[in-house]
Structure 1
Amino acid sequence: MTIKKVVLLCLLAFCFSFNLSAQELEPVKWETSVEKISDTEYNLVFKAAIEKGWYMYSQEEPEGLGPYPTYFEYRNQDGNYKLIGETLEPNVKPKFDKVFEIDVKKFDGVAQFSQRISLLNKELSIVEVNVTHQVCDDAKCIMQDFTFNFSLDGTAIKEKVIEIDDKSKQLSEELNLNVTGWDKYEKQSVEGKSYFGIFLLGFLGGLIALLTPCVFPMIPLTVSFFTKSSGDSKKGLFNSVLYGLFIFLIYVLLSIPFHVMDSLDSGILNTISTNVTLNIIFFIIFVVFSFSFFGYFELTLPQSWSAAMDNKANKIGGIMGIFFMALTLAIVSFSCTGPILGGLLGSTMASDASAMQLSMGMGGFGLALALPFTLFAMFPKWLNSLPKSGGWLNTVKVVLGFIELALALKFLSNADLVEHWGILKREIFIGLWIIIAIGLALYIFGKIRFPHDSPLQKLSKYRVTTGILLVAFIIYLIPGLTNTKHANLKLLSGFPPPMFYSLYDKSSDCPLDLNCYKDLDEGITAAKAENKPILLDFTGWACVNCRKMEEQVWSTSQVYEMLQDNYVIISLYVDDKKELPEAEQFQYLRTNGTIKNIETIGDKWGTLQTINFQNNSQPFYVLLDENMQLLNTTNAYEPNADAYFNWLKVGLENFKNKPKFKF
């Protein structure tokens, strides 16, 4: 920070007043206590109260890209006391973390830690401990740092007047950018998600299941049974509607056990979905399902089950008889619906969904299966428009087999990412999808056949259209094998492994090879020289949502060109652990009276963000001119590229139209 800049900021400071619309986050509150075991041994207890929706992490260092572990630094230790064993923490199983996309040990609600110590100096009365930890919700992460003093003799610790030296005061003042213009802007809100998308996904799965050999032929047979056997058209209509309702209810009821598990542990579905063993089992099951669809063998539930249900339906009759008929359909159609339901179940759990979301998906699936039986009973003439059963139904099954095979790789990828085996890097995953897509295209064009396929006489327009779409999909996948900007396959975001999990060496200094500065002074100097506004990018090396913004939003042509041509990007990494030169290290006095030691680059930039914007989460974006005049509202995680572009555009227009200060 140059003296000239400090003078400039001081001149600007008196000209403006502002209100901070953002809020400094402190999602973890700590309480400490001391348990005396003997005259020389004590137990130091740390109790963390974690706000709902936030997680803090274990002391264990994760492999690869993951959260920073909780770290306890026991000060004034030399010659005074020694540690007995390790710092104990809650015993929890690893859970999938949305931010880092790996299995990690994390705590929510309340977490208690303890450390046993043995005194070497009996005159010691105070033990000083510093705790540093990262805390995240599903969208952002922050770092927190606390220093605690434990009184061993039970006397109250006198609150001492905290004094910092002149160097620390000067460097602290230099972190205050005197940002102006807060009164003009307000922070935007983010809307939540609904269940509707999951319901539609289930409904789509049900429609696909209708086109399989196990279900499709049952439609005219069942409808004819209800409309003719009763002799009364109204009664037949009522029975068919009831039959459809029971189909819907049966599939919804399949999700009830997950509600019971969800009530015991709200993260049970997430735990199941990220368990390495279960992911391997799902992978094997999906491969088996795919070969079953190919026709090499048939997967069915025990025939005695369907026979028993059919027998009960015949004996009981009435409403209960119709229920058992619906249950019989669910059982006998399992060989076709099972793999699709498995995909629905797996994809729902893989997205860290709740039991209610699973019920919505199953309800959509059941509704799609039930609708034809009701609609065709209401309008029997529609049956004449149905295509006849034939070889095309087997084609649908084989196509589903290829899809099952592609989905199976997702489960293997989950296990690979969690364990960091490195066997299914991003390019290998995409390469296998290309091979599967080529195999499906060859099947569609009749170049390969499976056991139950009849000879293909000619290519229908549906096969030709599907084949062309597959070729287009293969062409779309090919750039994913390269180490270029085209490797970012946005339409498949979330399916292949993340871009950093790659066979290529990812060592670019700046996102997407854009020009950026990692030093504030250098960036401001460049902005003045180029007469451009500043995008202040508070980011982190381990910030997954920061990478998502860069790979999915910054990479769009309009945003990329806007950043490249019109902005000076200053990327400040708040988790950079590189130590500052000793002359630049200092103590920062927080507003609550505690001291934070600014020893690393990350400490400096994180504190700068907190001081100026009352916010300590990443990603966090600020548009400024060279005089620290705010040009637009601050922004955070914004996955909508158009909205982000418009935000940049407004900032640029405000930069061009504002009056310039002359010095």
Structure 2
Amino acid sequence: MRAIKNAFILLITLLSYQFSVAQINPLEKVSWKFSVEQNGCEAYVIGTAAIVNHWHVYAAHLPEGSFALPTEMNLEKSDKYEIVGKLQEPKPEKIYDEILNEDLFLHSGMVTFKQKINILSDKDFTLKGSYTFQTCDDIQCLPPFDDVFEVKIKACNKEENNNSDEMSFVLNETDNIDSTEEQSVAKVTENKKETTNKLTDKSLITIFFLAFLSGFAALLTPCVFPMIPMTVSFFTKQSKTRAAGIRNAIIYGISIIVIYVLLGTIITAIFGSDALNALSTNVYFNIFFFLLLIVFAVSFLGAFEIVLPSSWVNKADSASNRGGLIGIFFMAFTLALVSFSCTGPIVGTLLVQSASIGGMAPFVGMLGFSLALALPFGLFAAFPGWMNSLPKSGGWLNTVKVVLGFLELALAFKFLSNADLVMDWHLLEREVFLAIWIGVFGVLAMYLFGLIKLPHDSPMQNLSVGRTLFGTLVVIFVIYLIPGLWGAPLKLISGFPPPMEYSESPRGFGNNSSTVDYIEGTHVGPQGIPAFLDIEEGLAYAKKVGKPVFLDFTGKACVNCRRMEEGVWGEPGVIEILKNDVVLVSLYVDDKRDLPEDEQFEVEENGKTIKITTIGKKWSHYQSSKYKVNTQPYYLILDENGNEVGNGSADYENHGNVDAFKKWLEEGLDLYKTP
């Protein structure tokens, strides 16, 4: 019966070809490239098929009795090499065909087939082979197509120990390459760039709102707050009409925005967008940022004032008397200079945070900060009655400044922690970091409740309701931090302290038993999961145990990586998958340890030759060259041959909650298990 069905389908197919208006060449829909990936006496013959949109080819390994024509890549028999194993392919897409009444296994887009060989010849030679495929869309199938190919193989020199990062790629001169493949590759690259751009856009939005809040914090400092009613009153009284006063106040606010945005633009222009991002993970600059924030914090606490040269202020003040737009601009410039002792530390901290994002972040950060700073001047000039609701200047302004000083002090240790993590010094492990924060916020609570006083504090008879409530919140936060010394996850501040595995007791206080069995070649990763630190070792183990690889591009100083590991990985439904169903491979792109000299290599990037000398640079180059992205965290599910299973990538921005991440993991497992 099945033979009759197949004959009938074949007859219909032949008739459709007979009455086609024009015969389509299958190579117009699928273009092929053949190459060799060789490491000493082992090599992979690789066939890469670039398939146009809405078309597909069938998998190489199909169920017995399937009507579909499998894709084949056959090598001629020769005594110069031996074939090892079967043809390797990525996990195919599985769909059910109602007409054929069977499951079909398909590949679309860009697909790579690999055949491993052991080279036996001590001389270079040409390997010959053939390939066969059939391509279809949702309406029709083109006739099966077969052709031959040739690739150059280098001699087997058993004395050489070539590094796998320096594999040679030799292409056949008559490879069937056309613009179709180039367009497919370009599309894949464009999609990944689009994903990266989306992540960057979200980061810029975050820095804008943080900067906006920082601008409001600066408004409440003793250098800026008293200037609001004075400046608005000046414009409304000196202007001939109310409209002119409002206009001048708005110009004044715009001038403030221009001054601070210009500062952000200059910072970006001097360092460059890529350099700012590189600085954020640089050990020396993290230490510099730590010292800088310590200075800012001590200044806010009242030890000294950070002021600019008085000559700068005098010249700006003189220029403000000119009148007109220039005079108003220099009035704004004078405000920026006079208030520097209060706004300088906030602006400096904001620029440091912007450096961790790079690109236009300093520009966007200064825009948000200056907008919040300038907004009150325009609003109060338009609605002078609102100023009656403003609290009077007084000692509370210095309290705001001191609170900001304590926050700067706590944040400073995050940058020192980044340097410690990257260099593996273990000077600031999780317990020490938390002890410092408990101390800082504990002293802040004592200050808010009036138990200690600082140099510029005014006499205080009673605690205000607001100060009491805020002090109570700080005490609650300190109590929340304390269990972290004994291994509590502290999800509210995930990403700020060092990860759990970077502590004196990685498995928690008093817990001497491992949650999972030890695996040779691994280290204790997030949530106590054994993690391989090398992709080849992880793939070898995955092949041995028959599990997919969970590839984790991460960084020791990556805040969002810690948030995922501490806030998502350990949740029910996720932790079970990560512990039992996948092999974790964590590649740290900021690992500063040197590669052995025989494993160091050079690459071409943006027209420059760069030498890869550290483990972190190796994995950073691997991620950017293979997957066309350089953001972390970046997750992939791979089969035991290193091919993506087809569920795409995951990241913090789009999978930063348990449900989304769990769904992505389950989709990857389902695709891996599909035969």
TM range, normalised to the smaller chain? 0.5 to 0.7
Structure-2 residue corresponding to 1:347 = 353
SS in 2 for 1:255: helix
Structure-2 residue corresponding to 1:367 = 371
Report the residue type matching 2:228 in the other structure: I
Distance 1:21 1:322 in 2: 60
* 8 Å CA contact 1:427, 1:503 repeated in 2: yes
- After superposing the two structures, state which structure 1 stretch, 493-502 or 424-433, moved more: 493-502
- Whether 2:578 is the aligned partner of 1:571: answer no
Structure-2 residue corresponding to 1:17 = 105
Structure-1 residue corresponding to 2:296 = 289
- Whether 2:501 is the aligned partner of 1:494: answer no
Distance 2:571 2:552 in 1: 21
Q: CA deviation at 1:636?
A: 4.2
Report the residue type matching 1:404 in the other structure: E
Q: Pick closer, same or farther for the CA change 1:558–1:378 going to 2, 3 Å.
A: farther
* 8 Å CA contact 1:553, 1:641 repeated in 2: yes
Q: Pick closer, same or farther for the CA change 1:200–1:451 going to 2, 3 Å.
A: same
Structure-2 residue corresponding to 1:212 = 221
Q: CA deviation at 1:327?
A: 0.2
Q: 2:392 aligns with which of 388, 407, 415?
A: 388
Structure-1 residue corresponding to 2:637 = 621
Structure-2 residue corresponding to 1:196 = 205
Q: CA deviation at 1:431?
A: 1.5
SS in 1 for 2:162: strand
- Whether 2:413 is the aligned partner of 1:398: answer no
RMSD: 4.4
Structure-2 residue corresponding to 1:642 = 659
Q: CA deviation at 1:253?
A: 0.5
Identical positions, percent: 47
With normalisation by structure 2, the TM-score equals: 0.57
Structure-2 residue corresponding to 1:236 = 245
SS in 2 for 1:261: helix
* 8 Å CA contact 2:268, 2:362 repeated in 1: no
* 8 Å CA contact 2:300, 2:402 repeated in 1: yes
Q: CA deviation at 1:288?
A: 1.9
Distance 1:248 1:158 in 2: 59
* 8 Å CA contact 2:637, 2:668 repeated in 1: no
Q: CA deviation at 1:499?
A: 3.6
SS in 1 for 2:308: coil
Distance 1:616 1:234 in 2: 54
Q: CA deviation at 1:275?
A: 4.1
Report the residue type matching 1:538 in the other structure: F
- Whether 2:164 is the aligned partner of 1:146: answer no
- After superposing the two structures, state which structure 1 stretch, 243-252 or 269-278, moved more: 269-278
Q: CA deviation at 1:643?
A: 0.6
Q: CA deviation at 1:461?
A: 2.0
SS in 2 for 1:17: strand
Distance 1:422 1:513 in 2: 18
Q: CA deviation at 1:570?
A: 3.6
Structure-1 residue corresponding to 2:427 = 423
SS in 1 for 2:497: coil
Q: CA deviation at 1:520?
A: 5.8
Distance 1:395 1:450 in 2: 10
Q: Pick closer, same or farther for the CA change 1:23–1:331 going to 2, 3 Å.
A: farther
Structure-2 residue corresponding to 1:67 = none
With normalisation by structure 1, the TM-score equals: 0.58
Q: CA deviation at 1:216?
A: 0.2
Q: Pick closer, same or farther for the CA change 1:346–1:20 going to 2, 3 Å.
A: same
Report the residue type matching 2:656 in the other structure: P
Distance 1:311 1:615 in 2: 57
Q: CA deviation at 1:542?
A: 8.1
* 8 Å CA contact 2:639, 2:672 repeated in 1: no
Q: 1:227 aligns with which of 231, 236, 246?
A: 236
Q: 2:164 aligns with which of 104, 107, 132?
A: 132
Q: CA deviation at 1:261?
A: 2.9
Structure-1 residue corresponding to 2:473 = 469
Q: CA deviation at 1:11?
A: 8.8
More relative contact order in 1 or in 2 (CA 8 Å, sep 6+)? 1
- After superposing the two structures, state which structure 1 stretch, 553-562 or 332-341, moved more: 553-562
Structure-1 residue corresponding to 2:332 = 326
- After superposing the two structures, state which structure 1 stretch, 420-429 or 547-556, moved more: 547-556
Q: CA deviation at 1:298?
A: 1.8
Structure-2 residue corresponding to 1:536 = 548
Distance 1:132 1:655 in 2: 26
Q: Unpaired runs of 5+ in structure 2?
A: 1-59, 67-103, 115-154, 174-191, 508-513, 519-523, 532-537, 588-625
Distance 2:424 2:357 in 1: 20
Distance 2:656 2:444 in 1: 33
Q: Pick closer, same or farther for the CA change 1:201–1:13 going to 2, 3 Å.
A: farther
Q: Pick closer, same or farther for the CA change 1:651–1:411 going to 2, 3 Å.
A: closer
- Whether 2:451 is the aligned partner of 1:442: answer no
Q: Pick closer, same or farther for the CA change 1:415–1:24 going to 2, 3 Å.
A: farther
- Superposed CA deviations along residues 597-652 of structure 1, whole A, max 9, x for unmatched, are xxxxxxxxxxxxxxxxx99998433799xxxxx99946544433221234467799
Q: Pick closer, same or farther for the CA change 1:207–1:13 going to 2, 3 Å.
A: farther
Q: CA deviation at 1:347?
A: 0.9
Structure-1 residue corresponding to 2:568 = 553
Q: Pick closer, same or farther for the CA change 1:505–1:642 going to 2, 3 Å.
A: closer
Q: CA deviation at 1:481?
A: 2.1
Q: Unpaired runs of 5+ in structure 1?
A: 1-8, 27-73, 79-127, 134-144, 150-156, 160-186, 525-534, 576-613, 625-629
SS in 1 for 2:106: coil
Q: Pick closer, same or farther for the CA change 1:289–1:258 going to 2, 3 Å.
A: closer
Report the residue type matching 1:18 in the other structure: L
SS in 1 for 2:436: helix
Q: CA deviation at 1:514?
A: 7.1
